[in-house]
Amino acid sequence: MSETKKTPRNVHGAPHFAVGPISRPMRQRAGALMMGTALTAIVGMGYGRRAYAQGVTPSGALSQTNATTVEITGPGTFETQDGFSVAPTDPNVNGITITTLAGPTSDTEFTDDFASSITGYYGISADHNNDGSLSITIDGTVNELGIDGSNFAIGNGIYVNADDSTGSVKITAAEVYGTLY
């Protein structure tokens, strides 16, 4: 003889979890579910605005005189301010290092419209790893500052490694000086 399980039923014959008029605990759960769904939709949509990738650079580094390397991580737009310059005290470090992270198809733009002086072993060294574009626009002068073992000047004004990128690279510069080509 086989046993049959019976689902407990209320007076109206419906299962207990679907009681006729909504009970208080059921109303609370329904309200929580609707609120959670609404919040998930709002957060997922970014409150109706697009989300933008933000690059990283040290606070104030693009508006002051720098005696150490300025490191920029893209994607993002980076613009210098009046009074910006880079001249590391160590001649064998870069003036500006730009790194675009692998993966995202987003653009990285570095712009200096203030005729700034940028020096370093590589005045600007860029490692472009993503599929977006890399744009470097300089209105000033970029110089190499490196010193080799015999105290001879060595370095590049601008060096870009784009081996791991399918994105474009655009460099516009007023003056660039270097000894390595």
Q: For 50-93, how does the pLDDT look when each residue is reduced to its tens digit (9 = 90+)?
A: 333 345 666 678 999 999 999 999 899 999 999 999 999 998 89
Q: With bands split at pLDDT 50, 70 and 90, how would you rate the model's confidence at 125?
A: very high
Phi and psi dihedrals of 160, rounded to 5?
-130, 125
Q: What is the mean pLDDT of residues 142-168?
A: 85
Write the single-letter amino acid at 169: V
pLDDT above 90 coverage of the chain, percent:
44
Q: With bands split at pLDDT 50, 70 and 90, how would you rate the model's confidence at 164?
A: confident
> What integer pLDDT is reported at residue 63 of this predicted model?
92
Domain ranges in the chain?
Answer: 1-51, 65-176
> What integer pLDDT is reported at residue 20 of this predicted model?
41
Which tokens hold the place of 141?
A: 């002068």
H or E element: which one contains 45? Answer: helix 24-45
- Taking alpha carbons only, the member of 95, 99, 101, 100 closest to residue 80 is 95
**Cis upstream peptide for 75 (omega within 30°):** yes
